[in-house]
Structure 1
């Protein structure tokens, strides 16, 4: 067993490079790792894992490449090792906090499996979205028309502010919708506009929606008790999924004397918070992937497409750090009474779980963010 843990082959997090690697090629690899989940570049090891070694230290060279050929600059960790009399180096690249990164040749790379490649338009859009440089929810939706919006619902929304939308002229209505980002500069509905006020959001945005499933046991392979595909505007999605959860979660009770004692359980606001949080903060640029809500015998899982934005870590979530991947969606849902923008939602969930003697789990991968809420025995 090798105590130094030299990897045996390349993968999503490992890249081998010989001493002959060009500085520009090394910069490409470094940027790809920083734009993805981070990783390690092993210098002095050939592509197929043969140790060829280094004739000198390349630490200063690597630091210069990271400082001048990678934008923004990247800070790696360089470590020299001696194996069988040959010197190699482990260069650890952290997951970038200032994505997107690009090279001095103005190329954006990402890591896919054991290789790097130039980011596609959609992937680059996600990188900029993660950085907060652009917000996907205010982009106009292809093929969307004003007729795809429910004008009565928009009128109800404005009536909250004592504005009579229905009595406005057509140009006046367009102006009001443009000022609130329901439509964009080309008078087409925005993604936020369709998701909140659309007549049929899932027709134009098939990635929207919630897939709910209730399993008899603790594994996804167990018997399926209930299954629903929930579409429509986001407020309706949150309400219908909450109703499905309440219908499927059994609350136990005991009889003590003449009184019926309810078993410990979560208040509705806990489930509502998790569902609304998923609807508002998921990455809508990821096509073909809906929110998944799985109810097991021992837990509830809410799985949102896309990882957390750059500025947010799992550690920050439970103490109330707020973020707005989709700030226009956030604003609409807050105005409709579904969101508390002060960041108190997830801390409240954690506090309610603690009252029942359990802890909430937060898990992040390259493609999704998952919240696991243990269910109390009852």
Structure 2
């Protein structure tokens, strides 16, 4: 069941995914509620100056934030949660802290294992605890400390930039922030910390490499374009996304006097597939990296590691489970992940909006494959023209629109282009067309008022 927006939670009744706390409770009491939610299906805790659902203004929001974060760290293992959000509900300032669903660990507080049932935290029976450990049997690779790791391996500028992005109070102490995010243990970087902020990711984790390949046809061929990226994960995502967007076929067509743009694949769906592969792959598998292959009719995104936990191909859209919660949380802080577990839904919606079939998902012997459908552009967009070459030549939008107009209408005049761009001066329109003539794309016919242009 989806949670209501954060701003509405203070007015909801307590239940399996919502609890209330007050800002004078002990660290252990709040930790028990956080752990109980994490051991169930996630949820949220509303913290105010009152007791239960009787809300009152917080006495000290900063102190309450530190209390919540200290409670999360006191769990075993430490619980990674987003920073609490200050929400004003009916003029009453309260804190709302989210506990992600689908975490891979079982959490204890002072040796006690609790689970949220109804509106209360209940001890787990031995049988239920055994089942939960079986369901979440993950070795926690991202929390492990590799041999010889030290703070010197972290890129200070990346850490400071991340702390500035998160902002106060977390940004006031970058090392404390990394500890809360599971990137440091006793001031020593974990695998997650080095993957996200390391100076030399390739030396520590060659398996973190992304290989991107573009073939011009529907099958592999001897001629292709390729790049390999091995960098801190946020930078790797940004570089891979730029490469994919640059190599994706793009085009336009004229609908009346308006230009309609299209792309080989919906960029948003491509981004979701890329980010999901980086965030959720099994980094303990050292044999291979992520492979993203672009064909003329499809995009294949392969990531090492089969589906984690209790997730199967059948329940993929409904269930939430994160193999790498620390990595996911940092990527979320940086705006690269929106909500844990909802990327597939967004991907499918974007494909549908573009008139494409849904993506397909397949487990292989040692990994997971996502295939985004597409079509060769001439077939996918009736009347469409691939404008990629024009864009690489540096033509501006007006010039591309002019060429599309000629493709459709066989000719264009200064007046035609002026009507398409009424806010642009006549001299600029003249220069645009003259430049297309000089480039050998258009041929000028006639003189003065009788002048028109055709494709050369």
TM-score range, shorter chain: 0.5 to 0.7
| Offset at residue 321 of structure 1 (A) | 2.6
1:134-192 residue CA offsets vs partner (Å, 9 max, x unmatched):
311111122322111012221222232324868x6xxxx6555434322224x431111
2:184 aligns to what SS in structure 1? coil
Contact 2:206 2:230 in 1 (8 A): no
Contact 1:281 1:325 in 2 (8 A): yes
1:315 aligns to what SS in structure 2? coil
1:321 aligns to what SS in structure 2? coil
Match of 1:161 in 2: 167
Q: Which of 133, 139, 144 in structure 2 is aligned with 1:134?
A: 139
Contact 2:356 2:373 in 1 (8 A): no
Pair 1:239-2:230 in alignment:
no
1:79-118 residue CA offsets vs partner (Å, 9 max, x unmatched):
xxxxxxxxxxxxxxxxxxxxxxxxxxxxxxxxxxxxxxxx
1:270 aligns to what SS in structure 2? helix
More helix by share: 2
Label 1:352 to 1:179 Cα distance change in 2 as closer, same or farther (>3 A). Answer: closer
Match of 2:155 in 1: 150
| Offset at residue 353 of structure 1 (A) | 1.8
2:188 aligns to what SS in structure 1? coil
Contact 1:307 1:365 in 2 (8 A): yes
1:44-93 residue CA offsets vs partner (Å, 9 max, x unmatched):
xxxxxxxxxxxxxxxxxxxxxxxxxxxxxxxxxxxxxxxxxxxxxxxxxx
1:259-297 residue CA offsets vs partner (Å, 9 max, x unmatched):
333246544221111111001100001003110000011
Match of 1:303 in 2: 302
Match of 2:48 in 1: none
Contact 1:214 1:225 in 2 (8 A): yes
Contact 2:215 2:225 in 1 (8 A): yes
| Offset at residue 343 of structure 1 (A) | 2.2
Quick one: distance in 1 between partners of 2:139 and 2:287?
A: 21
Contact 2:248 2:265 in 1 (8 A): no
Match of 1:194 in 2: 194
Quick one: distance in 2 between partners of 1:272 and 1:211?
A: 15
| Offset at residue 333 of structure 1 (A) | 0.8
Q: Which runs of 5+ in 1 are unaligned?
A: 1-127
Label 1:264 to 1:193 Cα distance change in 2 as closer, same or farther (>3 A). Answer: closer
Per the normalisation by structure 2, the TM-score is 0.50
Label 1:143 to 1:205 Cα distance change in 2 as closer, same or farther (>3 A). Answer: farther
Alignment coverage as a number of residue pairs: 243
Quick one: distance in 1 between partners of 2:368 and 2:145?
A: 26
Pair 1:353-2:354 in alignment:
no
| Offset at residue 130 of structure 1 (A) | 8.4
Match of 2:4 in 1: none
1:187-240 residue CA offsets vs partner (Å, 9 max, x unmatched):
4311110111111211111111200000121112x1433100011111111111
Contact 1:293 1:303 in 2 (8 A): yes
Match of 1:116 in 2: none
Per the normalisation by structure 1, the TM-score is 0.59
Quick one: distance in 1 between partners of 2:162 and 2:135?
A: 29
Greater shift, 320-329 or 209-218, is seen at 320-329
Match of 2:247 in 1: 248
Quick one: distance in 2 between partners of 1:183 and 1:129?
A: 27
Label 1:286 to 1:130 Cα distance change in 2 as closer, same or farther (>3 A). Answer: farther
2:315 aligns to what SS in structure 1? helix
Label 1:227 to 1:310 Cα distance change in 2 as closer, same or farther (>3 A). Answer: same
| Offset at residue 351 of structure 1 (A) | 1.9
Q: Which runs of 5+ in 2 are unaligned?
A: 1-132, 378-456
Match of 1:293 in 2: 292
1:341-374 residue CA offsets vs partner (Å, 9 max, x unmatched):
3422111111222231312110002301000001
| Offset at residue 252 of structure 1 (A) | 2.7
1:140 aligns to what SS in structure 2? coil
Match of 1:344 in 2: 342
Match of 2:323 in 1: 325
Which protein is bigger by CA-based radius of gyration? 2
Quick one: distance in 2 between partners of 1:130 and 1:266?
A: 36
Label 1:264 to 1:204 Cα distance change in 2 as closer, same or farther (>3 A). Answer: closer
Note the aligned Cα RMSD (angstroms): 2.4
1:304-350 residue CA offsets vs partner (Å, 9 max, x unmatched):
00100131011222x34322101111111111111123422111111
